[in-house]
Amino acid sequence: MGGQDPAGRRRSSPRRGAGDPVKALLHRHRALCERAVDPLEIAAGLEAHGVTDRTAAGLRHRDVFSLAEELYARVPRVDEHRPHPEPAPTPRVRADWALLALLPGTVAALTVTGVRLTQGRPRLLLAVAGALAVALALRLALRRGPLAAPSRALARRTATGTRAWTCWLLGYALLGDGLLRAVLDGGPHGLPTGTAHGTWPVATVPVLALALATAPAAWSTHLLTTGARRRLAGSRGLEEFTAAVQPLLLGTFALSLGALTGLLALCGTVLGEAAGYPQALTLGALLLLARLLAVHHAPRGAGPALAAAAVAEAAAVALVLAGRLPGCAFLATPVDALAEVAGPGGVPALACGAAALALLFRAARTLTRASAHAPTGDPE
């Protein structure tokens, strides 16, 4: 019964007389009736406003429920398709995580300076202390802000393995290339001296650049999160959302890789060493993707990918060593060939690159789903 058109109102008015009491009630509770999703909601609302069965009986109804049904039928539903529903509260840039993200880079830079300025035993102590400090700073930086993992048991359980593999990969970035070169040359003939020269050179540039890149990674992830929230509020369908998030994901990913490239160039110039772009960039991409997946509740693929890269690196060194055994020279052949073509940096570049590519495919599939960007946090 359309109460809103004038003709309908004229027709219905004689039946109830001039003072239609239901209409007065309807007028009083119009907002309730317009926004109710079913008659029971109107009934609950009316009762909360003191309408009882006796009131309903005065309005020629059996009970509040049948009165509510009449009201539900008489009031047209308000079409509440707001053109732009307000997006979910986006995480704001906060000083704590913005500053914490700078911490690993700062500590790493201080450590590198210290190592450069000292000699002998103090250098070793400083290097070990610096490595521990960087690890600690990284942990702190990843606890807050956009790179913080959701606090779920599943994430916590997988985190230990991931952390170990990450440490191994970073350690290889620091020492691995020098070790592989030394092993290929029949060494190693001594322990690393902490410089980029000698028999076992240490590559500080990639690690320093990666530590510094924590900040741009946090910022680009923040961009991804806010952008995804905005698209979440604006999209009508899941396909539309996926299509909108894909360029955003790839864009922010490219942005942080670009920042890493810049940092590598800068560090290389300042320290006067080779930057080692391929291995550092692939490792940076791998670590960033693994973190993104963990942040968005899809940490399953990340651990195995990190593990695979780490095992591949270890295997390369082990194969060369095994090749020295009598009759096993063939074992070293593939690594030899790769090192000849791309230098010792080719091994980690290949390992991390393949793993990063796999994770990129996975991220492009899972991180573009709406469920990966669902607001977290259970209400308490």
Partner 1 sequence: MRIGLLTEGGYPYVNGDAGLWCDRLVRGLGQHEFDVYALSRGRRQEDEGRLEPPPHVSRVRTAPLWTAEEDGVAYGRRARRRFAERYGELAQVLCAGPSGRAATGPDGPDAVPGLMADRFGSALYGLAELARDEGGLVGALRSDTAVRALERACRAPGAHTAVRGARVSDLLDIATHLERALRPLSLDWYGDDGLGAADLCHATAAGPAALSGLLAGHFSDVPLLVTEYGARLRAHYLAAGPEAATPAVRTLLAALHGRLAAEVYGRAAIITPGNAHTRRWQERCGADRARIRTVHPGMEAARFTEVGEAPDRADPHTLVWVGRVEPAKDLVSLLHAFAEVRKEEPKARLRVVGAPAGPEGAAYLGHCKALAAQLFPDEAEGVHAVGDNPVCFEEIGGPEAPTLADAYASGTVVVLSSVVEGFPVGLAEAMFCGRATVSTDVGAVVEVIGGTGLVVPPRNPRALAEACVALLRDPERRERLGAAARARALELFTVEQNVAAFRGIYLEIVSHCPVRRVVLDESGEPLPFAVPAEAHVPGRWTGPTAQVAGRRGPGRVPGATAGTTPVRATPLKAPEGAR
Binding stretches for partner 1 (CB under 8 A): 31-32, 35-41, 44-45, 47-50, 52-54, 63, 65, 77, 80-81, 85, 87-88, 152-154, 157, 232-233, 235-238, 240-241, 297, 300, 366, 369-375, 378-380
Q: Is-contact 73 360, C-beta < 8 A?
A: no
How far apart are CB 356 and partner 1 at their closest, in Å? 23
Distance separating alpha carbons of residues 70 and 110, to the nearest angstrom: 76
CA 302 to mean position of chain CA atoms: 12
Q: Give the number of C-alpha atoms closer than 13 A to the C-alpha of residue 165, restricted to the C-beta side.
A: 24
How far apart are CB 143 and partner 1 at their closest, in Å? 20
Compare residues 20 and 53 and give the one whose CB is closer to partner 1. 53
Helix (H, G, I), strand (E, B) or coil at 3: coil
Distance separating alpha carbons of residues 38 and 324, to the nearest angstrom: 80
Compare residues 232 and 354 and give the one whose CB is closer to partner 1. 232
Compare residues 326 and 379 and give the one whose CB is closer to partner 1. 379
- What Cα–Cα distance (Å) separates residue 8 from each residue in 11, 23, 91, 92? 5, 14, 51, 52
Compare residues 40 and 337 and give the one whose CB is closer to partner 1. 40
With left for phi above 0 and alpha for psi between -120 and 50, is residue 198 left, alpha or beta? Answer: left
Q: Is-contact 205 273, C-beta < 8 A?
A: yes
Compare residues 249 and 264 and give the one whose CB is closer to partner 1. 249
Compare residues 71 and 319 and give the one whose CB is closer to partner 1. 71
Q: Is-contact 31 19, C-beta < 8 A?
A: no
Compare residues 303 and 346 and give the one whose CB is closer to partner 1. 303
Residue 228 backbone phi and psi in degrees, to 5:
-65, -40
How far apart are CB 149 and partner 1 at their closest, in Å? 13
How far apart are CB 367 and partner 1 at their closest, in Å? 11
How far apart are CB 254 and partner 1 at their closest, in Å? 25
How far apart are CB 42 and partner 1 at their closest, in Å? 9
Residues 6+ apart with CB under 8 A from 84: 233, 234
How far apart are CB 20 and partner 1 at their closest, in Å? 20
Distance separating alpha carbons of residues 200 and 223, to the nearest angstrom: 40
How far apart are CB 176 and partner 1 at their closest, in Å? 32
Compare residues 5 and 380 and give the one whose CB is closer to partner 1. 380
Q: Is-contact 216 184, C-beta < 8 A?
A: no
